Amino acid sequence: MARGEVLVFLHADSTLPKGWQDHVQHAILQSPRSGASMPQWGCFRSIQIDADPVTAWLVQHAVALRTCLLHRPYGDQALFMRRATFDKVGGFPSDWPLLEDLALVKKLNRSCGPPAILPADVHTSGRRWRALGLVQTTLINQVILAGHSLGVDVHTLAKFYERTGLRRQQHAGHALS
């Protein structure tokens, strides 16, 4: 239903940083430098969560490292792209209850290359990390990602996710941090 040239996707429990519109517009609509191509999509560098200082620091830096090295941002980092790019890669899988942002990111990486990474962080709720702790939350996330990599159906993974208590900790959004 959105009508703009640039689309921004963000989890409902996340807040964009101050000045985000200028950052996104500059990254996606800027004129390319000599020899450079215009980025087709991007994200913010990392997330900041409201949790104990050690957990918050570890999550922020692990997400930034994953994004920089693997080009795998998730929906809590505010994925943005040109409408034409979203349409070209086929958008989100319509029937996935979980990991739909990861599916989109994989298609974007294959089709368009790595994201433009903006030098700011999105604030997202840390309630999962506070409720279950760093180790348990990370372990659950990694089990789900490993299952997905091994071909386990996303609907089966979503049932596992629900049983772990993580789903109950979220207001909205489906992706793992």
Q: Phi and psi dihedrals of 102, rounded to 5?
A: -65, -40
For 30-78, write each residue's pLDDT tens digit: 755 555 677 899 999 999 999 999 999 999 999 999 999 999 999 999 9
Indicate the residue type of 105: V
- DSSP codes of every residue in 118-146: EEEEEEE--HHHHHH-HHHHHHHHHHHHH
pLDDT value, residue 171? 37
At residue 137, the pLDDT reads: 94
> For 135-145, how does the pLDDT look when each residue is reduced to its tens digit (9 = 90+)?
999 999 999 99
Q: pLDDT tier at 176 (50, 70, 90 boundaries)?
A: very low
Output the pLDDT for position 28: 85
Q: How far apart are CA 70 and CA 122, in angstroms?
A: 19
19-55 burial, b for 16+ CB within 10 Å, e for fewer?
ebeebbeebbeeeeeeeeeebbbbbbbbbbbebeeeb
Tens-digit pLDDT profile for residues 87-127: 999 999 999 999 999 999 999 999 999 999 999 999 999 99
What's the pTM?
0.86
> Can you say whether residue 7 is alpha, beta or left, with left for phi > 0 and alpha for psi between -120 and 50 degrees?
beta
Query: Is 58 buried (19+), middle (13-18) or exposed (0-12) by CB count in 10 A?
Result: middle
> Closest Cα partner for 64 from 8, 10, 121?
121
Residue with the bigger pLDDT between 169 and 17: it is: 17
Q: Where are the beta strands (DSSP E) in 10-155?
A: 14-15, 41-49, 79-82, 116-124
pLDDT value for 39:
81
Decide: helix, strand or coil at residue 173. coil
Mean pLDDT to the nearest integer, 10-30: 91
Give, rounded to a whole angstrom, the gap between the first and last alpha carbons of the chain: 27
What pLDDT is recorded for position 3?
A: 82
Boundaries of every domain in the chain: 6-125
Half-sphere exposure of 116 (CA within 13 A, CB side): 20
